[in-house]
Amino acid sequence: MNAFPEARAQVVVEGALDEDLGGFPGLDVTSSATIPATQSSTAHVVARADGVLAGTPLISLVFRAVTERIRSREVDVQLFRQDGEVVHKGDVIAMLAGSTRAMLVGERTMLNLVSRLSGVATHTRAWAEVLQGSGAMVLDTRKTTPGLRALEKYAVRCGGGTNKRMGLHDVAMIKDNHKLAAGSLSAAFEAVRLASPAVDIQVEVTTTAEAIEAVAVGARFLMCDNMSVDLLRQTVEAVRGTGQKVEIEATGGLTLDVARAYADTGVDFLSVGGLTHSSPILDLALDLVDDRT
């Protein structure tokens, strides 16, 4: 189930409006001067490019928050498309009806958020399609926009990807610096297991020997970092040969061009920070409709 993180979205919306309007309740100096408080309009949210939608519940959340701030009449939102759907240039995603001033006050906040999340979903869908049939899934990372993690990870799910850990609190991830600080891989693993016995532990490895060492001390999820395709295939075969049920992830510097080759090594996952840190937005627009005809 891909539940939209509404509580977190409300916090994000209020912060974004504070940023744009100069605090609470704030002021749009242009719209307040040029648009009568009683004026009403119809508008369309339109796709200006092909892509995958994510974040459409934010449309209602933004305009509800705006109308409460400026004490205008409501903006009714009718959605024509849903998160996870493919849209094409020119498609109308939603129709708005209500306060013209509220629409223009909230326009950029809404577009910033929905365009950003739809861009993440669109990028993720490209990875999911390349990996289709391989048995491997694409994972996101913690390389998210500060404050937007829950929303960006939701967008990854809309695009057909899978979430890894949400933060430092829910999964232990032993990397090179932890091994150095603790003295060894095994020392780091035992320290985490002793401190947090109920938490899953993932271990980053860079060689086949290190992967086998990690499995021997009890690791059941390996992150194979910056390995070549040949080294990764060798490592997967060696780990499978131990007879232990171990999930294996390829990570580090992966691109769409090589995604299938890495998936075909037999890994379970490909971890891609670029899903959230480097996705271009999906171009969306809000267009007022001329009701005079």
The residues that are catalytic are 108, 143, 175, 204, 225
Q: Which two tokens stand for residue 13?
A: 């919306």
- Beta bridge partners, 225, equal 251
Sign, Cα dihedral of 68, 76, 19, 276? positive
For the beta sheet containing 172-174, the strands, ordered from the edge strand earlier in sequence to the opposite edge, are 137-139, 269-271, 247-251, 221-225, 201-205, 172-174
Distance CA 259, CA 257 (A): 6
From the list 235, 98, 228, the residue with the least C-alpha distance to 219 is: 235
From the list 55, 53, 54, 74, the residue with the least C-alpha distance to 63 is: 74
Distance CA 285, CA 75 (A): 17
Could you say which DSSP state residue 162 is in?
B
Distance CA 144, CA 292 (A): 44
Go through the chain and tell me how many residues it has. Answer: 293
Distance CA 280, CA 269 (A): 23
- Grouping H, G, I as helix, E, B as strand and the rest as coil, residue 26 is coil
What secondary structure does DSSP assign to 191-205, as a single string? HHHHH-TTS-EEEEE
- Beta bridge partners, 162, equal 139
Distance CA 139, CA 142 (A): 10
Q: Which two tokens stand for residue 199?
A: 């938490």
